[in-house]
Structure 1
């Protein structure tokens, strides 16, 4: 699976500036709602927040993979944000997070969900890829990094 099949340029945002976990999740849900207008933005936010209640999706090294399962979603949707300033996200290594690769996935398709998460985690394990994400100066440049690496 290619990351570029999950992410569109309008869901790739470089140098965003937020100061809290809740606010970044709100922004992710706003972007996802624009791509999935049949899903209320508040429902998307609730799915992301409910998953965070189970344990932080901050996987360490400044990276988080917030995700939520939802009914009425046909295909996984990803949103990539790179924060200008890292924020506290309760990551497993207690380091602030600046790369957010969020997923909205169909409810019930556990195999596909796990496969998608594994693909994303594998890509984000590449230090050079993460460095390129962090140094992208525009949304278009960030999207180009994603397309070129996937």
Structure 2
């Protein structure tokens, strides 16, 4: 699964002045609702229910909030770069500035796991994360996220 398959160009956000996790989730849900035609409240509910199980803040300024929606047809992603970073209750207690939200159909166990794995692997690439933190143009961020990793970033 390639990120370009689940991340629309219009779903890359550079967010200034987000002051809480709930405000971030609202912003992500607004974008996702427009992208996939799902109910914003249902998206917020899915994200909040998953987050209540434990923070999706991975550490190193990264978070992958995710949830499942029964009526969704395919996995979708929304990326946000936060300026300034936001307290996210991450495992390392550090604020988050790189967020990739994933939504999957309720019955899409394998696709959901593939998407989570792909995003986690991608965000472990230090050079990519450094480039994402320097970029403030959504088109450039989309380009970085969807470029073939083998030719763009040496492992």
TM-score (norm: length of structure 1): 0.95
Q: Deviations over 1:67-114 (max 9, x none)?
A: 010011111000000001110000011100000000010102212211
Unaligned runs of 5+ in 1: none
- Residue 61 of structure 1 deviates from its aligned partner by 0.4
Unaligned stretches of 5+ residues in structure 2: 150-155
> 3-state SS of the aligned residue for 2:129?
helix
Match of 1:112 in 2: 111
- Measured after TM superposition, the shift of residue 16 of structure 1 is 3.3
Q: CA offset at residue 42 of structure 1?
A: 0.7
Report the alpha carbon displacement of residue 149 of structure 1 after superposing the two structures with TM: 4.3
Are 1:22 and 2:8 matched, yes or no? no
1:56 matched to 2:55 = yes
Alpha-carbon shift at residue 147 of structure 1 (Å): 2.0
Structure with bigger RCO (C-alpha 8 Å, 6+ apart): 1
Secondary structure (helix, strand or coil) at the match of 1:35 reads: helix
Query: Would the alpha carbon gap of residues 69 and 121 (structure 1) be closer, same or farther in structure 2, given more than 3 Å must change?
Result: same
Cα distance per residue 1:29-67 (max 9 Å; x no partner): 000000122x21011011000000000000110000000
State yes or no: 1:8 paired with 2:8: yes
CA distance in 2, matches of 1:44, 1:27: 11
The residue that corresponds to 1:133 in the other structure is 132
Query: Does the 8 Å contact 1:16/1:81 carry over to 2?
Result: no
Cα distance, 1:13 vs structure 2: 1.1
Structure 2: how far apart are the matches of 1:11 and 1:55? 25
